[in-house]
A and B are shown apart, each in its own frame.
Chain A
Amino acid sequence: MSYPRLLRRTLLYIGATAFALWVLIPIFLIAISSFTPPNEIYAWPKPIIPSRFSLDTMRFFLNSYGVLNSLRNSILVALLTLAFTLAVGAPAGYAVARFSFRGREAFRLGILITRMFPTALLAVPLAVTFIKWGLYDTLIGVALIHTAMALPFAVIITTGIFMGVPKDLEEAAMTLGCSRFGAFVRVALPLALPGLAAAAMFTFVISWNEVFAATILTVNNRTLPAHILTTIQASPLYFRFAGGFFMTIPALFFMFFIRRYLFHMWGGATAER
């Protein structure tokens, strides 16, 4: 390898490593904090690597009043959101990907504009409406507003996914005697399944991470982020660190699985190479 090329390559790796460290070091530090014994959190100067690792901080967090309950609520809300979002969004994604019809562009534009709504604009009036409807402080209520927030992403992602499934295959199945629905279920759906799973995970993460609406719409049935946010000022530092780390883990886990589909969200119809 020639000298300039070697230099160029070295610089590339140095740059990439620097950015990677910038991303990873804070995650590493919060992980360390969560396994540092509570009393060492306040030590001065605090060693980066604690004298011993312990589960006490994590245990304290998980056993704190309301945490396990809100964790259960978070998971249920995220699962409900996932089910609602796919049920509502995937058919629309399929329609936009498969048919050319009047109003298609208007629909796509409308969906994208909803992304610009501030969460406060949805959550505050919905809190008032939900009290009337008996949905205030319920998991379904939170799941519904999370669905509203995830819907634009779900429609965009599923459009991309269904565009990646060749139309010819479905048409072939129909010539061979399948109904339109049968062709969809037997041909398009299995091919779209991995992408739909990624869309589902992405929806799960949106709901799992959402805090503003969840806090506004609940009192007793808090989700985990809502519980942490409302108790934050009264909680010791080690509770907050453990909470921060705990909320981060599933996100990292899901990111690993959806990494191939990330670009569907923003690339529109462009398939990922």
Chain B
Amino acid sequence: MDVRLRKLLGTDTLLPYWLLLPSIVFIGVFFLMPLFNAIMLAFRADNGAFTLDYFKKMVADVRFIEALKYTFLLAITIVPLQLITALAMALLVNTGFRGSRFFLYLFALPLGISDLAAGLIWLSIFTQHGFLNSILYSLGIIERPIYFISYQNTGLTFLAVVMAEHWRATAIVLVILVAGLQMISKDYLEAAEVLGARGWKKVWYVILPMLKPSLQSALIIRTIFALQTFAVVLALAGDIIPVLAGEAYFWHFLYRNSHVASAYAVFLMAISIGMTWFYLRFLRSRMEVIRG
């Protein structure tokens, strides 16, 4: 590069900042601006005055409380299930048996599958003449199909959603945990063995405590995403199970009201921040958690 141009741009000292510039601009336009606009849409009436009407409208909607209930229920059922399953998978793979890398690849497969596709995949299992009913019938367990997905059986419908989402998003937790396991220094493990910690003892006293930061970040990331569960529910359960993200979608898409839709979005953001704060406060270890 020409020396004068280099001086002008200050490349020698400012180069890293020039390289960051595009992403900083992008974050400004596509994260900070929408954040600001969403708050504006949610709190400002069309005449420009501050208003809580859109939040009142959101809360007054009959589906709001149901959506809030199911969103939280989904998060507190799915996230622990995923952590346990992924931990079992990760520890299994970590023993390094022959073919473990192949199995790890298989376990991680759903990572590439979208929430919409996962909902449709499990629909083929849970629908009235689906695979589950057909198998139960062939085994003589039931005489006529069970309506897993219906307004009469919201409990079963909820379970179907839990199974689909558990299946789809465990892979993300698995990847976080396996990455965490790889960061544990070999020295600690060898020291543990020398001192007589083997098998379950080694897992319990050495591996799990060292895996804590990864478990925490998996917990936070998965909780935040679980609060946004949307397409799995829509594909599998239609509007039988209302969720917050789904309501934001309906208000924007069907009722053409971006004010109330934004109120939902801001509300979701507030819950996400609240949950993150809660975890960070009670699990401590701040930086590692956000690092992932």
Task: Knowing A45-B137, A244-B124, A270-B179 are in contact, say whether A155-B23 is a contact too (CB < 8 A).
Answer: yes
When distances are taken between beta carbons in the complex, the residues of chain B under 8 Å from A255 are: 105, 108-109, 111-112
Interface hits, A7-50 → B, CB 8 Å: 9, 12-13, 15-16, 19-20, 22-24, 26-27, 29-30, 33, 41-48
Closest to A268 in B: B291
Is A110 part of the binding interface, using a Cβ–Cβ cutoff of 8 Å?
yes
Neighbour of B124 across the interface among A13, A15, A30, CB < 8 A: A30
- Contact between A15 and B265, CB atoms less than 8 A apart: no
Stretch at the interface among A89-97, A169-177, A188-196: A89-97
Check B106 against A20 for contact (C-beta < 8 Å): yes
Instruction: Tell me which residues across on chain A come within 8 A of B178, comparing CB atoms.
Output: 263
Number of A-B contacts (CB under 8 A): 297
Nearest CB of chain B from residue A1's CB, rounded to whole Å: 13
Query: B35, A121: Cβ atoms under 8 Å?
Result: yes
Stretch of A64-72, A75-83, A228-236 at the chain-chain interface? A228-236
The number of chain B residues touching the other chain, given as a range, is 35 or more
Assess whether A233 is in contact with B238, with CB atoms less than 8 Å apart: yes
Question: What CA separation (Å) do A110 and B292 show in the bound complex?
Answer: 13
Whether A62 sits at the interface, judged by CB under 8 Å, is no
Given A42-B129, A209-B117, does the pair A124, B27 have CB atoms closer than 8 Å?
Answer: no
Main secondary structure of the interface of B (DSSP, over half): helix
User: Do residues A124 and B265 form an inter-chain contact, with CB atoms below 8 A?
Assistant: yes
- Write out the residue numbers on chain B whose beta carbons fall within 8 Å of the beta carbon of A95: 15-17, 19-20
Say whether B249 contacts A241, CB under 8 Å. Answer: no
**Alpha-carbon distance between A101 and B37 when the two chains are bound, in angstroms:** 32
Contacts A44-B134, A114-B27, A119-B245 given; indicate if A266 touches B97 (C-beta within 8 A). Answer: no
Could you tell me which A residues sit within 8 Å of B by CB distance? 9, 12-13, 15-16, 19-20, 22-24, 26-27, 29-30, 33, 41-48, 87-89, 91-92, 94-95, 98-99, 101, 103-104, 107, 109-122, 124-129, 144-145, 147-148, 151, 155, 179-181, 205, 208-212, 215-216, 225, 228-230, 232-233, 237, 240-241, 243-245, 247-248, 251-252, 254-256, 259, 262-263, 265-268, 270, 272-273
